[in-house]
């Protein structure tokens, strides 16, 4: 379980996150919504320890993340706008690199399995620089999941995926929830939220303005519009 307590973060002189309290339990898929510039990516970067908090704390299973940084980072699967793939490497070489980094056992078998799951097996020996955006995103899914993380931090993870890719990601996320992985997912597409999330947080003016267990698209849109109109 990840817990954020009174988290504050400035970027430059701009206070992006003013006071964030949040708790994401194992098996939760917590959607985070908010307009452009609201601080959603910043929030995920704090959870991934890419940014340090200015004040407040982030706990993972009851302990400050910075007191268990190496172990904690191995627990995270991270998907963002950057795919973190080596362009000159093939999919097999990319996944080999990450599986060595994470100390995965049965490496070759795991890599082959993931390449089939994300439907890139036939492209396994082609350098990633030749890949389309969606193909890179599929490989990123494999990169983010192959070490069996307990916490998924997903920043607009559906970006670039075709219809099959979107269905694949839903299936993978459902499986992750069944395995009790905790998921934080930023999205601008409210229709995705009710399909996979059990909670939604609305980030507004540096705070979680509303937190709801009602994840139906119309409900999310209504709250979102009310908050944005108040700007
Ligand atoms: N490195 C930086 N230096 C200064 N300000 C930054 C930096 N990175 C982000 N910001 C500012 O922080 C605010 C929050 O940015 P963030 O990327 O977290 O927003 P977001 O909610 O993810 O937006 P989007 O929906 O567009 O992805 C923005 O106002 C942005 O201009
Ligand atoms: Mg963002």
CATH at residue 33: 3.40.50.300
Residue 136 lies in a domain: no
37 Cβ closer than 6 Å to some ligand 1 atom: yes
Q: Nearest bound ligand to CA 36?
A: 1
Residue 196 lies in a domain: yes
Mark out the alpha helices in 55-90 (DSSP H runs).
69-75
Residue 32 lies in a domain: yes
Residue 215 lies in a domain: yes
Atom of ligand 1 nearest to the CA of 38: 21
> Quick check: 150 and 26 in contact, CB under 8 A?
yes
Residues 6+ apart with CB under 8 A from 129: 87, 88
The helix/strand/coil state of 200 is: strand
- CA of residue 162 to ligand 1 center, whole Å: 27
187 Cβ closer than 6 Å to some ligand 1 atom: no
Atom of ligand 1 nearest to the CA of 156: 27
What average pLDDT does range 67-81 have in this prediction? 94
Q: How many CA atoms lie within 13 A of 181 on its CB side?
A: 27
**Residue 45 binned pLDDT confidence (cut-offs 50, 70, 90):** very high
Instruction: Tell me which residue range forms the domain holding 81.
Output: 2-85+153-229
**pLDDT score of 231:** 64
**pLDDT score of 1:** 94
Cα(184)–Cα(151) distance, integer angstroms: 8
| Residue 75, CA distances (Å) to 25, 55, 70, 162, 180 in order | 14, 23, 9, 28, 13
12 Cβ closer than 6 Å to some ligand 1 atom: yes
Residue 110 lies in a domain: no
**pLDDT score of 142:** 97
What average pLDDT does range 64-91 have in this prediction? 95
Residue with CA at minimum distance from ligand 1 atom 9: 11
Cα(166)–Cα(178) distance, integer angstroms: 18
**pLDDT score of 71:** 94
Residues 6+ apart with CB under 8 A from 87: 127, 128, 129
Cα(65)–Cα(58) distance, integer angstroms: 6
Residue with CA at minimum distance from ligand 1 atom 31: 37
41 Cβ closer than 6 Å to some ligand 1 atom: yes
40 Cβ closer than 6 Å to some ligand 1 atom: yes
Cα(166)–Cα(79) distance, integer angstroms: 14
**Residue 87 binned pLDDT confidence (cut-offs 50, 70, 90):** very high
- CA of residue 217 to ligand 1 center, whole Å: 25
Residue 198 lies in a domain: yes
- CA of residue 45 to ligand 1 center, whole Å: 11
Total domains in the chain come to 1
Q: For all residues of the chain together, what is the average pLDDT? A: 95
Cα(60)–Cα(218) distance, integer angstroms: 33
Q: Where are the beta strands (DSSP E) in 73-194?
A: 76-79, 151-155, 182-186
How many other C-beta atoms lie within 10 A of the C-beta of residue 74?
15
Residue 122 lies in a domain: no
Residue with CA at minimum distance from ligand 1 atom 29: 37
Residue 40 lies in a domain: yes
- CA of residue 41 to ligand 1 center, whole Å: 7
């Amino acid at each position: 379980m990840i817990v954020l307590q009174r988290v504050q973060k400035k970027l430059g002189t701009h206070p992006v996150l003013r006071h964030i309290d949040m708790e994401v339990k194992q098996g939760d898929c917590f959607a985070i919504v908010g307009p452009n510039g609201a601080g959603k990516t910043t929030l995920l970067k704090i959870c991934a320890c890419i940014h340090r908090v200015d004040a407040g704390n982030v706990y993972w299973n009851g302990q400050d993340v910075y007191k268990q940084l190496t172990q904690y980072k191995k627990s995270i699967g991270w998907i963002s706008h950057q795919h973190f793939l080596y362009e000159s490497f093939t999919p097999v070489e990319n996944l080999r690199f990450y599986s060595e980094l994470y100390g995965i056992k049965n490496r070759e078998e795991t890599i082959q399995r993931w390449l089939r799951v994300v439907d890139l097996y036939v492209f396994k020996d082609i350098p990633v620089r030749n890949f389309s955006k969606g193909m890179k995103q599929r490989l990123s899914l494999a990169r983010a999941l192959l070490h069996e993380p307990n916490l998924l931090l997903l920043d607009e993870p559906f970006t670039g995926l075709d219809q099959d890719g979107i269905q694949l990601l839903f299936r993978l996320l459902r499986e992750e929830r069944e395995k009790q992985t905790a998921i934080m997912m930023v999205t601008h597409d409210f229709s995705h939220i009710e399909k996979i999330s059990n909670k939604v947080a609305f980030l507004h003016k540096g705070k979680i303005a509303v937190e709801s267990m009602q994840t139906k698209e119309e409900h999310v849109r209504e709250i979102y519009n009310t908050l944005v109109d108040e700007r």
